[in-house]
C-alpha cells in the first residue's frame, strides 16, 4: 500500500535518518520509526528540522519531496539526479515529432479529462446531469460555469487551497511517471515547462482536484479557513486526509492515463511504419 509522509511545521518536531529508516520525533515523546521503502512520497509544509542525509535517503529511493510555504504555495520539489535519460525518453518524443502527433495527444488529454469531469459533476451535483453531457459531449466552458457557481462564496481563498491540493497531486503523478520511466518534464500541453508531462496529466485530473478543493470548504475547518491567510496544521491534515481517502481511486486513474499514453505511442509508431510503405 502506498504511503505519503506529511510533515507540518512544528518547533518540537524533528526527523532524522537511522540507516534505511527515518525516525519522526515530537518533543519528549518516543520517536516513530518508518522504513523508507514504505514511503512513496513526502510533503513538507513550513519549517521542519531535517538532516541532509534524510533528503539523500529519499532521493536514493526515488521518493519525491514537495516543499510548501505556510500559505500552501509549492516552493520546490526534490528528485533524484540521474546521469542517463529516462527509459521512455526517446519513445515519448513521438508526441512532439509532428503537429499531427501533438494534436492526437491533446485529443487524448481532452477525452480523458471529459470523462473525469462528468464523473465529478455527478458526485458534486448529486443529481442526474444533462444527457447531452454524455451524448454530445461536455464543453469546457459548461464545466467551468458550474465550478464558478459552486465556488462563488469562497472564490478568493479557493485558489490557495486548490494550489496546495494540485501540488500534492503533481507529486503523485511525478512519482508514477518516474516509475514508468517517462520524462516528467517533456510535456505537450505544457511544453518547455518544468514537470510539463506531469502537468499534462494533472490537467486530466483537474476535476478531481476541483472537487477535493470544494469539499475542503464544505467542512467546518474549511469554513474557518475562509478568514485565514495561512494554512494551519488542521488545514493540512484536512487536505491530507481527503487525498488519502481518494488516493486509491486517483492512483488507479493515473495508471490508466499512463497506460493510455503507452497505447497512443504504439498507435503513432504503427502509423509511421505503415506510411513508409505508401
- In this predicted structure, which of 43-52, 209-218, 255-264 has the lowest mean pLDDT? 43-52
DSSP 8-state assignment for residue 25: E
Domain positions in the chain are 4-63, 89-275
Predicted pLDDT of residue 229? 59
Sign of CA dihedral 36, 38, 43, 46: negative
Fold equal for 4-63 and 89-275: no
Q: Provide the terminal-to-terminal Cα distance of the chain, rounded to the nearest Å.
A: 49
Please list the helix, strand and coil fractions of the chain in percent, rounded to the nearest 5, in that order.
Answer: 60, 15, 25
pLDDT digits 0-9 by tens, 91-140: 999 999 999 999 999 999 999 999 999 999 988 887 777 777 776 778 89
Give the Cα separation of 17 and 26 in Å (integer).
Answer: 15
Predicted pLDDT of residue 14? 78
Which of 1.10.150, 1.20.120, 2.170.130, 1.10.10 is the CATH number of 89-275? 1.20.120
- Quick one: cell of 157? 481563498
Give the Cα separation of 36 and 54 in Å (integer).
Answer: 10
pLDDT category of residue 277 using cuts at 50, 70 and 90: very low
pLDDT digits 0-9 by tens, 139-159: 899 999 999 999 988 887 888
C-alpha 205: how far from chain center: 8
CATH topology classification for 4-63: Ribosomal Protein L15; Chain: K; domain 2 (3.100.10)
Amino acid at each position: 500500500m502506498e504511503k505519503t509522509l506529511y510533515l507540518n511545521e512544528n518547533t518540537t518536531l524533528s526527523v532524522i535518518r537511522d540507516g534505511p529508516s527515518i525516525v519522526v520525533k515530537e518533543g519528549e515523546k518516543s520517536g516513530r520509526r518508518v522504513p523508507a521503502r514504505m514511503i512513496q512520497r513526502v510533503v513538507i509544509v513550513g519549517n521542519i528540522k531535517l538532516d541532509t542525509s534524510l533528503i539523500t535517503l529519499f532521493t536514493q529511493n526515488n521518493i519525491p519531496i514537495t516543499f510548501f510555504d505556510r500559505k500552501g504555495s509549492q516552493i520546490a520539489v526534490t528528485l533524484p539526479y540521474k546521469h542517463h535519460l529516462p527509459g521512455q525518453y526517446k519513445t515519448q518524443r513521438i508526441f512532439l515529432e509532428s503537429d499531427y502527433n501533438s494534436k492526437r495527444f491533446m485529443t487524448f488529454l481532452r477525452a480523458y479529462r471529459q470523462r473525469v469531469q462528468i464523473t465529478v459533476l455527478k458526485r458534486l451535483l448529486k443529481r442526474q446531469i444533462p444527457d447531452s453531457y454524455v451524448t454530445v459531449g461536455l464543453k469546457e466552458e459548461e464545466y467551468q460555469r458550474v465550478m464558478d457557481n459552486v465556488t462563488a462564496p469562497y472564490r478568493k481563498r479557493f485558489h490557495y487551497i486548490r494550489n496546495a491540493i494540485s501540488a500534492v497531486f503533481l507529486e503523485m503523478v511525478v512519482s508514477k511517471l518516474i516509475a514508468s520511466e517517462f520524462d516528467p518534464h517533456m510535456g505537450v500541453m505544457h511544453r518547455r515547462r518544468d514537470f510539463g508531462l506531469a502537468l499534462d496529466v494533472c490537467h486530466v485530473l483537474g476535476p478531481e482536484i476541483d472537487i477535493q478543493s470544494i469539499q475542503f470548504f464544505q467542512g467546518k475547518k474549511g469554513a474557518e479557513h475562509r478568514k485565514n491567510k495561512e494554512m494551519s496544521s488542521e488545514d493540512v491534515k484536512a487536505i491530507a486526509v481527503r487525498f488519502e481517502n481518494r488516493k486509491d481511486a486517483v492512483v488507479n486513474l493515473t495508471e490508466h492515463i499512463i497506460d493510455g499514453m503507452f497505447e497512443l505511442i504504439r498507435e503513432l509508431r504503427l502509423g509511421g511504419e505503415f506510411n513508409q510503405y505508401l
